[in-house]
Amino acid sequence: MPLELVTPPPSSPTAARVARAKRAYTTRHVPAFAFAQLLEDPGQAPRAGDLVLARVQRVGKHTTLEQTDSRRSALFPGDEIVVAYAARYAPDQFEACVPASLQACHLAAGGGVAALVTARHGGVSAPTELQPLGLLADAGGQRLNLASHARLPQAARGSAGPRPLTIASLGTSMNAGKTTSAAYLVRGLVRAGLRVGAAKITGTGSGNDPGLLRDAGAELVLDFTDAGHASTAGLELDALLHILDAVQAAMSAQGVQALVLEVADGLLQRETSMLLRSPRFAQRVDASLFSSGDAMGAVAGVRWLHERGLPVLALAGTLTRSPLAQAEAEAATGLQALGLDRLGDPATARGLAQRAADLACAGVAA
């Protein structure tokens, strides 16, 4: 008789409850066996990265939860979900912070971020409301936190070792076209015969962008969630640089030749600005592709980057949808504006990589 594969039952009532709940993408690296206890004291102060079991009270902006496999599950009032506490900074959606207790809060991002929304864009509906039921803990009563389940090894952090050629995808703001431009550049570099990696080192946890970069042909795709963060909002510079170092070390270990590295949001956003002003970033990133929605944004962004010694290879983003905006930007900056078709062209992509390599060599020589 054929053997029947039987899934062992959950080891505790909490594990059984979590198994019935909808688990968010941000929590995917935490193994199921870790869920052993529920710490229900409402006065506890959550920390960024802590996992919480929460009940959906009212469905608002986010009508679905992206699960651990990136499938989006519809949310209903009464659903129990497992998400991670984190802050959020999204000018087109919400500003949110980690609350001081297990008070009522919100689903601040569909990838699985619990936070207290303090401001929202005028065109965005009210957030989905959550009632936290308790912090999740292991068998020893220790809170489960994403930082303890990072995919990227701690030993890689702070590394000054070898790294692949690195091109950053930067932009004026959220939705300027950074991720799509990065994906097409990945596609072009892959078609040019290079081993290509892709990463997003700041932002809010979601599987959408890594999925697009993977679909474009990247051999290895990583982001800040692999380093133990549901969001990078509120992180200090040292933590941001740890993510950069860990990503580059993992790419180098995998034999990646070219890394396309997205930094989320715009140049004036707190974490982006800190990172790009850092001499360490300038040492570890060879050049950038700059996305903007209009010519004036392109001019201001290129000037801002040049003032900080960060070379720009070309313009990209949503401005390339408009021939007039593209012509204005090219005339004012002296840079080419490359639409998606050109970024995906192997000859164009190889040319960008060669220019980035030349800049890296010039920097070493200087």
pTM of the model: 0.91
CA-CA distance, 251 to 96, in Å (whole number)?
Answer: 32
* Domain endpoint, select from 97, 132, 149: 149
Q: Is residue 1 part of a domain?
A: no
Q: Is residue 182 part of a domain?
A: yes
Structure tokens at 234: 């509120």
Q: Do residues 252 and 186 share a domain?
A: yes
The tens digit of pLDDT for each residue in 310-351 reads 999 999 999 999 999 999 999 999 999 999 999 999 999 999
Give percent above pLDDT 90 in the chain: 89
Give percent above pLDDT 70 in the chain: 94
Q: Give the three-state DSSP class for 7.
A: coil
Confidence at 153, pLDDT banded by 50, 70, 90: confident
Sequence-distant (6+) residues with CB within 8 A of 129 are 56, 57, 58, 60, 104, 105, 106, 107
Domain range for 119 is: 13-149
Q: Do residues 222 and 339 share a domain?
A: yes
pLDDT at 308: 93
Q: Do residues 161 and 306 share a domain?
A: yes
Q: Is residue 340 part of a domain?
A: yes
The tens digit of pLDDT for each residue in 98-118 reads 999 999 999 999 999 999 999
For 191, phi then psi, to 5°, come to -65, -25
Q: Is residue 342 part of a domain?
A: yes
- In the β-sheet with 220-223, what is the strand arrangement from edge to edge? 220-223, 196-200, 258-262, 165-171, 287-291, 312-316
CATH at residue 191: 3.40.50.300
Q: Do residues 33 and 59 share a domain?
A: yes
**DSSP, residue by residue, 285-353:** --EEEEE-SSHHHHHHHHHHHHHTT--EEEEESGGGG-HHHHHHHHHHHS--B--HHHHT-HHHHHHHH
pLDDT at 175: 86
Sequence-distant (6+) residues with CB within 8 A of 221 are 197, 198, 199, 210, 213, 214
Q: Do residues 121 and 174 share a domain?
A: no
Q: How many domains does one find in the chain?
A: 2
184 class by beta-carbon count within 10 Å (0-12 exposed, 13-18 middle, 19+ buried) = buried
pLDDT at 99: 97
Q: Is residue 224 part of a domain?
A: yes
| Mean pLDDT, rounded, of the chain | 93
CA-CA distance, 199 to 288, in Å (whole number)?
Answer: 14
* Domain endpoint, select from 129, 149, 169: 149
* Domain endpoint, select from 149, 170, 204: 149
Q: Which amino acid type is present at position 154?
A: Q
Average pLDDT over residues 42-65: 97
Strand partners, 312: 288
Q: Do residues 218 and 323 share a domain?
A: yes
Q: Is the pLDDT of residue 253 over 70?
A: yes
The tens digit of pLDDT for each residue in 124-148 reads 999 999 999 999 999 999 999 999 9
Q: Do residues 178 and 138 share a domain?
A: no
Q: Do residues 329 and 195 share a domain?
A: yes
Structure tokens at 210: 């890594």
Confidence at 156, pLDDT banded by 50, 70, 90: very low
Average pLDDT over residues 288-301: 96
pLDDT at 162: 82
The H-or-E segment that residue 360 falls in is helix 346-365
Q: Is residue 357 part of a domain?
A: yes
CA-CA distance, 152 to 24, in Å (whole number)?
Answer: 19
Q: Do residues 261 and 132 share a domain?
A: no
Q: Give 119's Cβ-side CA count (13 Å radius).
A: 7
Q: Is residue 6 part of a domain?
A: no
Average pLDDT over residues 54-83: 98
CA-CA distance, 205 to 203, in Å (whole number)?
Answer: 7
Count other C-beta atoms under 10 Å from residue 275's C-beta. 23
Q: Do residues 215 and 329 share a domain?
A: yes
Average pLDDT over residues 176-180: 93
Count other C-beta atoms under 10 Å from residue 37's C-beta. 20
Average pLDDT over residues 290-301: 96
Q: Do residues 129 and 159 share a domain?
A: no
pLDDT at 10: 57
Per the model's pLDDT, the better-predicted residue between 153 and 259 turns out to be: 259
Q: Is the pLDDT of residue 276 over 60?
A: yes
Q: Do residues 193 and 296 share a domain?
A: yes
Q: Is the pLDDT of residue 8 over 80?
A: no
Q: Is residue 215 part of a domain?
A: yes
